[in-house]
Amino acid sequence: MAKTKHIRQDSTAVCLQFLRLSGGKVRLSQISFSKDIVQKLLNQELVKVKKTEVGYYLELKEVEICN
């Protein structure tokens, strides 16, 4: 039987909460979450990676709320 990777939903929620508490962005090298969790958030377009002069940052994407 082949092994499959399952990402728990609460792990992505914890990562998003961490970003919110960090002011919306954090250096990619300082994240202790797995690359699979970060990739899932990128695929869901909830975060983005931004290159700066001092390194790469993971940032929350701005989301418009429609009423």
Q: Read out DSSP for the chain?
A: --------HHHHHHHHHHHHHTTTEEEGGG--S-HHHHHHHHHTTSEEEEEETTEEEEEEPP-PPP-
**Domain presence at residue 66:** no
Can you give the pTM of this predicted structure? 0.75
What is the domain count for the chain? 1
Are 17 and 26 within 8 A, CB to CB?
Answer: no
Q: Does residue 37 sit within a domain?
A: yes
Would residue 1 count as lying in a domain?
no
Residue 3 has pLDDT above 70, yes or no: no
The reported pLDDT for the residue numbered 1 is 47
Task: Identify whether 65 is part of a domain.
Answer: no
Look at residue 27 and tell me if it is in a domain: yes
Its domain, for residue 25, covers 9-60
CATH of the domain at 19: 1.10.10.10
Q: What does the pLDDT look like over 23-64, one tens digit per residue?
A: 999 999 999 999 999 999 999 999 999 999 999 999 998 755
| pLDDT for the residue 48 | 94
**In this predicted structure, what is the pLDDT of residue 6?**
55
Q: What are the angstrom distances between the C-alpha of 37 and each of 6, 31, 41?
A: 10, 11, 6
